[in-house]
């Protein structure tokens, strides 16, 4: 793994390289994705079936598209009881954490006859995209569905690509059932996103789409934004470990590799004040690579987007971490809580050597759907807030409006909006 002495130029070069991973930079795919989205919008089910046959090599009919109760029960029998037990434990942690995020409607009244407030309403329907293929991601299922359930969403639709046997991965399906999905459809890719956004004969539209996916899914979410809401346009996974000479190099190496194995575009970065730690971490990574199963992916990820950066001071290291604004940030220093107070930009912050990133992925409770590619500077993790909307409440009595009506008329007339002014004036024209 590359060891680089950190300075202004190396920081700029690394940031420029990391930005190449941004889905917004894959403009070559946008035309293809836009074509799929428009086709599904216009031809609906017919287009969905054609793209499912083309990309997933599965020939589905309208009667086979929606997962049946029998298929759900079959999936539950196929999943190891021990895994079901672990998923249920994880669910409780996720639910308990997200319950604390709930917001409630509020009203504030004044003696002069004014009442102002905010009404919090759950979205009526959301669609959750879950990747398919050979891998199953039950953790992502739980992280997307449970906050929606906590928020009070009544209709939660999961879409995921079918296997060649025309079935959904049983682990994925079991997780969706346990978490509270109300419908599941066997469709993936850009066509699934378009179906959720515009609706088809078989798939009623939703109001928001969440969940991770490949570049085609990400660009499809971007294409339908405005017709529906979306959570974010997620990029490849990333981790940054901020460490001093007290860190265990074996732990750090293992944590960096835990994200690098996702795909070739994943990023794993160590920023440290210790050259000795940097060298030991590099050695440990080489040893791990000899025995880990996804060696080819790991090597490509580390070659292109893996860095060990040695900073002159912890202040420089912290500045670098804030500039990169990583999806996952581990702080492994003598006093991680002190360092944490200086972090401004990160999706999720893990403190201490036993708070490793997979703990957040699977079990701790905070959401693992996080901002990527530096967007932690202005985006937050997926939360209950993503599944509600807010309405303002305004009430003024005649007695409250009377002393200020001329002020409002003046303001409206200054903007040339005489009908606005008149709307206020007519209520007091007899005075």
> 28: how many CB neighbours lie within 10 A of its CB?
8
Query: Is residue 328 annotated as part of the catalytic site, yes or no?
Result: yes
Q: To 5 degrees, how large is the angle CA 20–CA 368–CA 161?
A: 75
* Given 327, 330, 353, 409, the catalytic residue: 327
CA angle, corner 322, sides to 314 and 3, nearest 5? 60
Going along 65-206, which residue ranges are E strands? Answer: 106-109, 114-122, 125-129, 155-160, 183-186
DSSP string, 171-231: HHHHHHHHHT-SEEEE--HHHHHHHHHH--SSS---SEEE----HHHHHHHHHHBTTBEES
- The rounded distance, in Å, linking the Cα atoms of 276 and 249 is 9
Torsion angle, alpha carbons of 311, 313, 314, 319, to 10: -70
CB 6 within 8 A of CB 312: yes
Are the CB atoms for 75 and 174 separated by under 8 Å?
yes
CA pair distance 281, 205, nearest whole angstrom? 49
Residue 239 pairs in a beta bridge with 268, 328
Contact 158, 176 (CB under 8 A): yes
Catalytic residue among 328, 353, 357, 409: 328
Tell which residue, 189, 223, 199, 233, has the closest CA to residue 125: 199
Does residue 327 carry a catalytic annotation? yes
Helix-then-strand count for the chain, H and E: 19, 14
For residues 145 and 176, the answer to whether their CB atoms sit within 8 Å is yes
Active site residues: 327-328
């Amino acid at each position: 793994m590359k060891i680089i002495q950190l300075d202004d130029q190396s920081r700029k070069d690394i940031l420029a390289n990391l930005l190449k991973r941004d889905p917004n930079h894959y403009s070559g795919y946008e035309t293809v994705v836009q074509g799929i989205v428009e086709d599904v919008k216009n031809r609906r089910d017919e287009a969905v079936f054609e793209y499912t046959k083309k990309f997933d090599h599965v020939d589905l009919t309208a009667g086979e598209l929606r997962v049946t109760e029998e298929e759900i029960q079959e999936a539950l029998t196929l999943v190891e009881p021990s895994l079901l037990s672990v998923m249920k434990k994880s669910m409780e942690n996720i639910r308990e954490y997200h319950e604390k995020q709930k917001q409630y409607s509020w009203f504030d009244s004044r003696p002069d006859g004014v009442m102002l407030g905010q009404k919090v309403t759950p979205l009526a329907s959301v669609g959750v995209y879950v990747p398919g293929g050979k891998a199953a991601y039950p953790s992502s299922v739980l992280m997307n569905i449970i906050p929606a359930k906590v928020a009070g969403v009544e209709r939660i639709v999961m879409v995921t690509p079918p296997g060649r046997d025309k079935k959904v991965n049983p682990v994925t399906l079991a997780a969706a059932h346990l978490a509270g999905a109300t419908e599941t459809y066997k469709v993936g890719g850009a066509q699934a996103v378009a179906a959720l956004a515009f609706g088809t004969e078989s798939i009623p539209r939703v109001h928001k789409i969440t969940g991770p996916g490949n570049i085609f899914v990400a660009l499809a979410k971007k294409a339908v934004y405005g017709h529906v809401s979306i959570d974010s346009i997620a990029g490849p996974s990333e981790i940054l470990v901020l460490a001093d000479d007290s860190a265990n190099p074996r732990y750090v190496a293992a944590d960096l590799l835990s994200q690098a194995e996702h795909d070739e575009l994943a990023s794993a970065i160590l920023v440290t004040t210790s050259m000795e730690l940097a060298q030991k971490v590099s050695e440990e990574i080489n040893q791990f690579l000899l025995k880990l199963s996804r060696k080819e992916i790991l090597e490509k990820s580390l070659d292109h987007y893996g860095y060990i950066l040695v900073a002159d001071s912890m202040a420089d290291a912290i500045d670098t971490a804030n500039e990169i604004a990583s999806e996952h940030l581990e702080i492994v220093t003598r006093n991680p809580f002190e360092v944490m107070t200086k972090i401004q930009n990160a999706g999720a912050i893990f403190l201490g050597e036993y708070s490793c990133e997979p703990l957040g992925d699977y079990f701790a409770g905070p959401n693992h759907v996080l901002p990527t590619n530096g967007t932690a500077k202005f985006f937050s993790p997926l939360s209950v807030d993503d599944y509600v909307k807010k309405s303002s409440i305004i009430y003024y009595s005649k007695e409250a409006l009377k002393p200020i009506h001329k002020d409002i008329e003046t303001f409206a007339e200054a903007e040339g909006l005489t009908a606005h002014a008149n709307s206020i004036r007519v209520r007091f024209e007899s005075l």
